[in-house]
């Protein structure tokens, strides 16, 4: 069982955005999607979570067509963190995280406890009573992360859980980037399948079980970070000369440009 895409193709207004993509996000594994601007990373994400309908191919969640699940069933298995947030109403941070419990009917007391735990997990317990509209960009991003965590914090009777993140670290400082990776890795250890669209190759290398390198809507190469992060691959996709070192502690590839 997995969150999987078979032979996806997508074009909008005649412009091809995705072409023949196959992808499987497995429970307990972290899949990172990399590529230059306009490579189709966000399009792939949006097709995978059902926001865009592909012209060809299909998306399955736990073995069933994504669309065949009811909205609530799907929300109990699949949480999505978008890149930008539109929220401009003065909810408190805790209330925003509480919205993540919308698909569940576990009761307010129980949900408040989960809100507390998830805010703590993103180093945001001190934000709980602050107004979302008055937070900094990085704080907002962490509160939104806590919201999607709250949505899939506990195993679902429907099936395996998946978390899809679109550049979750884009406005975070160094410490909170690391924290986000830790949170995501912990979730994966609990059996959640994770897909992250990310720009930072080294952050991706630190957490990925599987890496996809996207260019012009096609997967150029996929595999472990060691397989994917090679100078020739990076040159052909990003047109950048890079050296590959090794992280002194974790042993993962380190891209030096």
Q: What is the binding site for other proteins (CB under 8 A)? A: 49-51, 53, 71-76, 78-80, 82, 85-92, 95-96, 99-100, 102-103, 131, 151
Beta bridge partners of 5: 23, 59
CA distance 38 to 44: 11
Minimum distance of other proteins from residue 132's CB (angstroms): 10
Q: 166 burial class (0-12, 13-18, 19+ CB within 10 angstroms)?
A: buried
Q: How far is the CB of 255 from other proteins (least distance, A)?
A: 32
Shortest Cβ 78–other proteins spacing (Å): 7
Give the nearest distance from C-beta 79 to other proteins in angstroms. Answer: 7
CB 124 within 8 A of CB 142: yes
Is the Cβ of residue 83 or residue 171 nearer to other proteins in the bound state? 83
Q: CB of residue 150 vs other proteins: minimum separation in angstroms?
A: 10
Which of 107, 110, 147, 109 is CA-nearest to residue 127? 147
* Closer by beta carbon to other proteins, 164 or else 254: 164
CB of 94 to other proteins, least distance (A): 11
For residue 192, give the nearest of 154, 158, 223, 222 by alpha carbon. 154
Residues β-bridged to residue 80: 164
d(CA 144, CA 99): 10
The strand pairing partners of 244, in sequence order, are 255
Q: DSSP state, 127?
A: G
Q: Which is nearer to other proteins, 74 or 206 (CB)?
A: 74
Strand extents, DSSP E, the chain: 3-12, 15-25, 30-34, 56-61, 64-65, 78-81, 162-166, 193-197, 210-215, 218-223, 243-246, 253-256
Q: Judged by CB, which is closer to other proteins: 87, or 220?
A: 87
- Is the Cβ of residue 41 or residue 74 nearer to other proteins in the bound state? 74
Q: Which one, 119 or 211, has the nearer CB to other proteins?
A: 119
Instruction: Write down the least CB distance from residue 252 to other proteins, Å.
Output: 31
Residue listed under structure tokens 């999505």? 80
Closer of 166 and 214 to other proteins (Cβ):
166
* Residue linked to tokens 């380190």: 254
């Amino acid at each position: 069982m997995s969150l999987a895409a078979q032979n996806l193709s997508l074009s909008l207004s005649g412009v091809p955005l995705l072409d023949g993509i196959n992808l499987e996000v497995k429970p307990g594994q972290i899949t990172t999607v990399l590529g230059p601007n306009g490579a189709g990373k966000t399009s792939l994400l949006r097709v995978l979570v059902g926001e865009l309908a592909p012209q060809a191919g299909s998306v399955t969640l736990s073995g069933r067509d994504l669309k065949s699940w009811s909205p609530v069933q799907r929300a109990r298995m699949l949480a999505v963190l978008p890149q930008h947030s539109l929220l401009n109403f003065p909810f408190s941070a805790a209330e925003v995280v509480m919205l993540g419990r919308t698909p569940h009917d576990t009761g307010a007391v129980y949900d408040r406890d989960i809100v507390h735990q998830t805010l703590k997990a993103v180093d945001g317990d001190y934000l709980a009573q602050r107004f979302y509209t008055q937070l900094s960009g990085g704080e907002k991003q962490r509160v939104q992360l806590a919201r999607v965590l709250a949505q899939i914090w506990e195993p679902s009777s429907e099936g395996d859980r998946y978390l899809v993140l679109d550049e979750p670290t884009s406005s975070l400082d160094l410490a909170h980037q690391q924290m986000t990776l830790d949170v995501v890795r912990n979730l994966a250890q609990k059996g959640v399948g994770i897909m992250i669209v990310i720009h930072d190759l080294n952050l991706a290398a630190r957490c990925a079980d599987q890496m996809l390198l996207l260019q012009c809507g096609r997967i150029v190469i996929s595999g472990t970070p060691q397989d994917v992060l090679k100078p020739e691959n990076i040159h052909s996709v990003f047109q950048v000369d890079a050296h590959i070192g090794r992280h002194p502690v974790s042993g993962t590839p380190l891209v030096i440009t």
